[in-house]
Structure formats: C-alpha cells, structure tokens
Amino acid sequence: MNKEQEKIEIENLVELLKKASTDDGTFSGSLYDLYVLIGIAKGVNDINQGKGISLEELDREMEALYESTSRKFG
C-alpha cells in the first residue's frame, strides 16, 4: 500500500479509542483496540476504492479452496 491509501485521521482513532468498550485501561488493551480500529479503517478504505468482494464471491472462493484442500488431504 502506498502512503496515500493509508491516511487515517489520528483524531478519529483517538475518539474511537476513547469510546472502545473493550478498553480495560491497560497499555496492551489499548494497543489491541488500536490494531483493530486501524484494520477496520483500512477495510473501509478498501471497500470505498472498490477492492471488496461480495458475500457470494467469498462463498465461491471458500468453496473452491475447500474442494482443492479436501482433494489434497483426502
């Protein structure tokens, strides 16, 4: 990913972290929340740029993967 695609407003993340119901007040808990929020922001950005797939497409991909692995491993 290039820098332009990864622009995430720090102010938005700070506000979301303040509201995070999973925040247990520890440093590691806050890091985890931050990790999840960044992942969600990147996912929304990907969807907005047309990089997402429909549930039907995902279902077809998972079925194809299942069939190919079941042939390999019995």
Instruction: Report d(CA 11, CA 30) in Å as an integer.
Output: 15
Query: How do residues 47-63 score in pLDDT, each as one tens digit?
Result: 889 998 999 999 999 99
Threshold 0.75, pTM exceeds = no
Per the structure, the complete domain to which residue 64 belongs is given by: 3-73
Q: First vs last Cα of the chain: how many Å apart?
A: 38
Q: In the predicted model, is pLDDT for residue 1 greater than 50?
A: no
**Residue 74 burial by CB count (10 A; 0-12/13-18/19+): exposed, middle or buried?**
exposed
The count of domains in the chain is: 1
Segment 4-17 shows an average pLDDT of 68
* CB burial readout 19-58, b (16+ within 10 A) else e: ebeeeeeeeeeeeebeeebeeebeeeeeeeeeeeeeeeee
